[in-house]
Amino acid sequence: MFAIYKRELKAYLHTVIGFLIVAANLFLIGMYFVVYNMYYDYPYFQYAISGCSILLIITIPILTMRMIAEERKNKTDQLILTAPVSVWKVVVAKYLAALSVFAIPCIVSMILPVIMSRFGSIAWGESYLSVLGYFLFGAAGIAIGTFISSLFENQIIAAAISFVALFLGYMMSSLCSLISQSGNIVTKILGFYDLSSRFDAFLNGTLDLKAVLYFVSLTVLFLFLTVQSIQKRRFSVSAKRFTLTAYSAAGIVIAIAIFVFINIGATKVNEKYTLFDLTYNKMYTLTDETKNFVSEIEDEINIYVLSGEKGYDETVSKTLRGYESLSDKIKVSYVDPQVSPRFYAKYSTKAPSSGSIIVESSLRSKVIDYNDLYEQSYSMDYTTYSTTSEVTGYDAEGQITSAIDYCLSEDMPVIYFTEGHGETALDEAYQTALSKANIEYETINLMSVESVPETAACLYINGPTGDLSEDDLNKIIAYLDGGGKVVLTLSLTDDNLTNLDKLMNYMNLDLIPGLVLEEDANHFYGSKMYQVPTIGYSDFTADVYGAGYNLFVPYNMGVKVLDESNEEISTEIFLSSTESAFLREDYTSMTTEDRKEGDVEGPFAIGVNAVKSISDGVSAEMVVYSTATMFTEAADSMVSNANRKVFVSTVGRYADKENAVSIPVKSFDLGYLSTTTMDILVAAAISMIIVPITLIVAGIVIWARRRRL
């Protein structure tokens, strides 16, 4: 077998065909690499692989057309039929020789992501997974071409038929969509020869073992068919007895049945055992927050997708299948608007866009517009005076989990944000986090109301830079005495915050004006003003404690417990500086971050919760964070949304939604590569000119020398 493999491999490499195949593949991969990755600076190598995949239906027929057809034409196939080596070994040896030639450009292409990484961050897992998909696609295509080559003596006919067969496999997904958007028995049968959909799974960044199994089993099937095609010429048909020819026909039927059975069986396996998310932002992996939330669902949840299942957004489909795999209480159904155009009317008076999702429970329902599944940024093009948009993130998990929570919630809590004291506006990302947690929020000016509304789940005072009035202070204390809850975040300010300090004193906390600086090198980032606090376990930090997260809390004011022996008020410090921290009161004229005489010694509380017993069963609660800047998108981006997790846990607990879940948008923003014109020209010269031409010239030289011999 090895001798046949070496002979076949030499046959490719001693002629122009082998070098031409390698050169053509490398040229096209290089061309798309230069255009997408170097010129447009996209950090996704799978774009290049996807672009050149169409080449396979052209190069594979050329690679395989002579494999067995030439043997038949030259009558040397008789040697195969009479050789002591089994037909299986001959076919596999020929196949592996062609596969080895195809593997060369695949291996060389693996260098390109390394080159890309010199110019910025790239998606490593997705890049190399796309190369694996390209190789498996090609491997199956070569097996198909090998089988067709065994059917004909004419190489041109074999190549033409192989091209048609591969083209059908490549276009089968589109063909099935034309036949039926929702799918039927015909599309299910044709779907067994859908090569492109399985290939797309690799381009999307998921290692789908079902797709791997499909390509491997398809390869084995066509190699088996090739063996049967050759075997049929070894024996003659006899009308008097059951011959091997009849056995071959039965074997073909059995082999196809096994192929179908294996792949149907694979679809029944839970995707959590077969899908591995290799995307850089874990696009298809549901977060632990969603998993924990869904695991506690006891009511039935129906999710309706306003689209036919065939041809629907595969990214969203994978997310939906993830929900189904987590709980048998969740059922996903596809409703084709062309079949049921008024299905939405039960849930909305306005027709949602195609592909939208409806989540329904026995209590209520919620419509998620398809456009909300992706985050988009908008900008003005002043050359055309038109608005352009760009997809910057994927939010299907956040929207669907929020909708499920909404449908299961008995009521919607409301928190009130105070205004009129120079409060900091809550970032849009944090407003979105509240909406996803199904917590309503409103603003309130305490001057214009007699008291804090009874409907308030909690009162949020976000980074005031001005002091409370005496009247505002009394209203907040009255609210606390009635069992109210207050969230207070602080902002650095030169104003005298006497009444704000009184509010904190009422809850046994003390405000020390000034800027906290941290000297422990393990607890600040870059500047001593940018603290990384010590995290203690509490309801507020449960999602980050012990999970490998850091928090980023810049520009802290000083907060301490006023009287640690106070038995009426219990305090819990869950975020703190180290004992090496100190506070600089005259921070506005600060010229150095080094400790000096007059600084206030730490440690200081960064996050502290105080609970005051008012009467039996009634208690006032207040949580204080020493900096409002902690809950901003800029700070959150430094620690992979860990700050936002604490924010959601805080408002969730204080709004009586202790299991509030708010999943952040999964950003697409890997950034762009940073290449120069010279980088592009060098990459184009090497990958599109020098390497392909060198290979072709080498093939011609080797062929010419052997001709002279």
DSSP secondary structure string for all residues of 381-448: ETTTTEEEEEEEEE-HHHHHHHHHHHHH-SS--EEEEE-SS-PPPPPHHHHHHHHHTT-EEEEE-GGG
Q: How far apart (Å, rounded) are the C-alpha atoms in residues 11 and 7?
A: 6
DSSP class of residue 370 equals G
In the numeric block, which tokens belong to residue 249? Answer: 């026909």
pLDDT of 9: 86
617 vs 446 pLDDT, higher one:
446
Asked whether the beta carbons of 612 and 583 are under 8 A apart, the reply is: no
pLDDT of 388: 67
CA gyration radius, the chain: 34
The stretch 34-55 carries a mean pLDDT of 90
- Residue identified by tokens 């492109």 is 196
In tens, the pLDDT along 80-139 reads: 656 666 788 888 999 999 999 999 999 999 999 999 999 888 889 999 999 999 999 999
Q: Is residue 398 part of a domain?
A: no
pLDDT > 50? residue 637 = yes
Mean model confidence pLDDT for the chain? 87
Neighbouring-strand partners of residue 591: none
The stretch 314-341 carries a mean pLDDT of 90
| E strand or H helix that includes residue 606 | strand 605-615
In tens, the pLDDT along 134-161 reads: 999 999 999 999 999 988 888 889 999 9
Task: Compute how many other C-beta atoms are within 10 angstroms of the C-beta atom of residue 346.
Answer: 10
pLDDT of 84: 64
Q: Are residues 17 and 123 in the same domain?
A: yes
pLDDT > 90? residue 305 = yes
Per-residue pLDDT band at 238 (split at 50, 70, 90): very low
DSSP class of residue 592 equals -
Task: Compute how many other C-beta atoms are within 10 angstroms of the C-beta atom of residue 341.
Answer: 12
Domains in the chain: how many in total? 3
272 vs 595 pLDDT, higher one:
595
Antiparallel, parallel or unpaired: β 666-667 and 414-418: unpaired
Q: Are residues 295 and 274 in the same domain?
A: no
Q: Are residues 386 and 442 in the same domain?
A: no
669 vs 487 pLDDT, higher one:
487
CATH, residue 317: 3.40.30
In tens, the pLDDT along 194-221 reads: 999 899 889 988 899 999 999 999 999 9
The stretch 312-330 carries a mean pLDDT of 90
Q: How far apart (Å, rounded) are the C-alpha atoms in residues 665 and 470?
A: 41
DSSP class of residue 659 equals T
Q: How far apart (Å, rounded) are the C-alpha atoms in residues 266 and 450?
A: 65
635 vs 183 pLDDT, higher one:
635
Q: Are residues 310 and 416 in the same domain?
A: no
Per-residue pLDDT band at 384 (split at 50, 70, 90): low
Q: Is residue 97 part of a domain?
A: yes
- Residue identified by tokens 């490499």 is 13
Q: How far apart (Å, rounded) are the C-alpha atoms in residues 572 and 508?
A: 11
Q: Are residues 580 and 491 in the same domain?
A: yes
Q: Is residue 668 part of a domain?
A: no
Phi, psi of 621 (to 5 degrees): -130, 140
The alpha carbon torsion through 459, 462, 466, 470 (nearest 10 deg) reads: 10
- Residue identified by tokens 């393990």 is 522
pLDDT > 60? residue 301 = yes
Interacting residues of 346 by C-beta distance below 8 A, sequence separation 6+: none
Q: Are residues 258 and 340 in the same domain?
A: no
pLDDT > 90? residue 578 = yes
Asked whether the beta carbons of 225 and 251 are under 8 A apart, the reply is: no
Q: How far apart (Å, rounded) are the C-alpha atoms in residues 546 and 574?
A: 13
pLDDT of 600: 94
Per-residue pLDDT band at 72 (split at 50, 70, 90): low
pLDDT > 80? residue 659 = no
Task: Compute how many other C-beta atoms are within 10 angstroms of the C-beta atom of residue 378.
Answer: 8
Q: How far apart (Å, rounded) are the C-alpha atoms in residues 357 and 661?
A: 19
Q: Are residues 272 and 297 in the same domain?
A: no
Report in angstroms the alpha-carbon separations of 383 from 39, 391, 514: 22, 21, 48
Instruction: Give the domain range for residue 446.
Output: 412-641+650-658
Q: Are residues 72 and 206 in the same domain?
A: yes
Antiparallel, parallel or unpaired: β 414-418 and 440-444: parallel
CATH, residue 565: 3.40.50
Q: How far apart (Å, rounded) are the C-alpha atoms in residues 63 and 68?
A: 11
pLDDT > 50? residue 244 = no
Per-residue pLDDT band at 699 (split at 50, 70, 90): confident
In tens, the pLDDT along 491-508 reads: 998 888 999 999 999 999
Q: Are residues 107 and 72 in the same domain?
A: yes
3-state secondary structure of 627: coil
3-state secondary structure of 575: strand
Dihedral sign computed on CA atoms, order 342, 345, 346, 347: positive
Domain-ending residue, one of 391, 420, 443: 391
Q: Is residue 592 part of a domain?
A: yes
Q: Are residues 314 and 380 in the same domain?
A: yes
Per-residue pLDDT band at 18 (split at 50, 70, 90): confident
In the numeric block, which tokens belong to residue 286? Answer: 């549901």
Q: Are residues 573 and 535 in the same domain?
A: yes
Q: Which amino acid is at 698?
A: A
Asked whether the beta carbons of 452 and 444 are under 8 A apart, the reply is: yes
In the numeric block, which tokens belong to residue 492? Answer: 């650095």
Q: Is the whole model's pTM more than 0.75, yes or no?
A: no
Q: Is residue 406 part of a domain?
A: no
Q: Is residue 403 part of a domain?
A: no
Q: Is residue 401 part of a domain?
A: no
Q: Are residues 615 and 545 in the same domain?
A: yes
Q: Is residue 530 part of a domain?
A: yes
